[in-house]
Amino acid sequence: MKDVRILPNADALAKAAADYIVEVAAKAIAESGRFSIALSGGSTPRALYQLLTTEAFINQIDWQKVHFFWGDERCVPPNDADSCYRMARESLLNHISTPAAQIYRIHGELKPAEAAEDYGKTLRTFFLADLPRFDLILLGMGDDGHTASLFPNTAALGETDKWVTSNYVTTVKQNWRVTLTAPAINAAANIAFLVSGSGKAERLQQVLQGEYQPRELPSQLINPTDGNSIWFIDQPAATKLA
């Protein structure tokens, strides 16, 4: 059974997700002295990141012990308007005290395969393990069922060896993406999906309650091997759930 938490609106979703991050961060820091989190792009995470910088939350996390990563990135320079890193920097990173050396962006300005290989090396240096054990990965779900940059019927869905891969997507503006692979995501201790808006309702129902068809609905690939998965969903996105 998936842990599905339905919130009344997008603001309540952001609040619930922020509370969850505070909880997971405190536990990770208490146990290991650090908190590793992979961020997501998109409008729903932006609202969450902005909330974390407010008076209600900013002092609840020891930002000096946080290590920031990304679940995926568009192949653009870091100052590009479409950069996931830029969005996180402007909405969160510029407002907290995390050391720059603990912010590990994907170098989207490199050639896609090179950027993926480079980020894979970064993760292997940090985790020193057979698989990356993020304390928390934040994910969204697109209205086509994609998550991170694992898009329907794309090559990245079949990757089982690499932690990070480049992925060419014909259906989006920025065709080349760099993304964590499903095995790397599923190795996390905690995964949190953030899904908001009525435009996601039909696809969300298919992902959570429909037939298992991960090539068409890549979000179905995400199932932690030894961890927790929570879906934070606002009421408009949940309207078609049984």
DSSP strands (E only) in the chain: 3-7, 35-39, 66-70, 72-74, 136-140, 164-168, 176-180, 190-195, 228-234
pLDDT of residue 1: 61
Query: In angstroms, rounded to a whole number, what is the distance separating the alpha carbons of residues 197 and 201?
Result: 7
Q: Which fold has domain 3-238?
A: Rossmann fold (3.40.50)
Domain segments of the chain: what residues?
Answer: 3-238
* DSSP secondary structure letter of residue 67: E
pLDDT of residue 27: 98
pLDDT of residue 66: 99
Query: In angstroms, rounded to a whole number, what is the distance separating the alpha carbons of residues 82 and 43?
Result: 12
Which segments in the chain show pLDDT lower than 50? none
Model confidence pTM above 0.85: yes
Q: Please give the backbone phi and psi of residue 74, each rounded to the nearest 5 degrees, phi first.
A: -80, 150
pLDDT of residue 2: 80
Long-range (24+ apart) CB contacts under 8 A made by 114-117 are 115/73, 115/75, 115/166, 115/178, 116/162, 116/164, 116/165, 116/166, 116/178, 117/164
